[in-house]
Amino acid sequence: MESDLYPIVEKWLKKSHLCFKTAINKGLKKYSIIDVTGVKDVGGDLSGEVETIAVEVKRGTEPFAKASGQTLANKVYANRIYLADIRDESFSRDEIYIASHLGIGLIQIQNKECKEVLSSPYYKPIEKLNLLLLENLRLGKCQFCGSFFEISDAEQKNRTTNEKLKKALDDEKGLRFWNREVAKRKKKLGVRNVSDDIESFERRFICPDCIYYFFSQFKVND
Ligand SMILES: [Zn+2]
């Protein structure tokens, strides 16, 4: 089964690409689901920049150009895109030409091991799709330090409070707040359909570190 290969690729993303977050079968249901996704830190000491890697996994039976096209579609979500396929020998010369022509990376799966044969170029994904994907992986962007952090834990328990700074400080959590002005604008122009009882879908986050080490220095009253 193709899905039997997902954990092999996931393990490789952790080990070889040093991804701090990986996931299987995540994406936006409306558009497509990515077989294996990884997120890694690439920002150096001065930024919390991350890169999203999307891997399309095949079990060696799919027509190559078709699988490559499917892989390419993932650049709407991710910064780097790979096709991982089973090959006893390496990929053929033509396959490598096709992959480099399209701009996708190639991973050879052989004996439950992965090997990067061709690296992926860097892409700038559609930001809203990338952020929605990351949110699906429980990662939110801190509006203050710009880093990505876990907005909930594995049991789906929130690691942020809802606009309650004092509670965030007491519970050592981050903060989630809602932008009303942008929501109003989008509602007015029909960019985002908002029902009357929901004021805003515009969620923004501040990470626990920024709350604890910076915002805690402001005196907070109830
Ligand atoms: Zn922060």
Radius of gyration for the alpha carbons in the chain, expressed in angstroms and rounded: 20
Does pLDDT of 220 surpass 70? no
Percent of the chain with pLDDT over 90: 82
Strands (E), 99-218: 105-110, 113-118, 139-141, 148-150, 160-162, 174-178, 203-206
Expressed in angstroms and rounded, the spacing between residue 66 Cα and the centre of ligand 1 is: 41
Summary mean pLDDT of the chain: 93
Bridge partners of 148?
Answer: 141
Q: CA dist 169 to 53, 160, 163, 172, 203, Å? A: 34, 10, 12, 5, 19
Residue type (1 letter), 159? R
C-alpha of residue 165 to centroid of ligand 1, in Å: 14
Q: How far is the CA of 222 from the centre of ligand 1 (A)?
A: 23
What is the rounded average pLDDT of the residues 123-128? 97
212 CA → ligand 1 middle, Å: 9
- Which residues neighbour 98 within 8 Å (Cβ) at sequence distance 6 or greater? 64, 65, 68
Query: Is the pLDDT higher at 170 or at 219?
Result: 170
60 Cα–ligand 1 center, Å? 43
Q: How confident is the model at residue 221 (pLDDT cuts 50, 70, 90)?
A: low
More confident residue, 220 or 203: 203
Question: Rounded to the nearest 10 degrees, how much is the dihedral formed by the CA atoms of 28, 33, 37, 42?
Answer: -40
- On whether the CB atoms of residues 57 and 36 are closer than 8 A, the answer is yes
Query: The pTM is what?
Result: 0.92
Q: What is the pLDDT of residues 16-68, one digit of tens each?
A: 999 999 999 998 888 889 999 999 999 999 999 999 999 999 998 899 999 99
pLDDT tens digit sequence for 78-96? 999 999 999 999 999 999 9
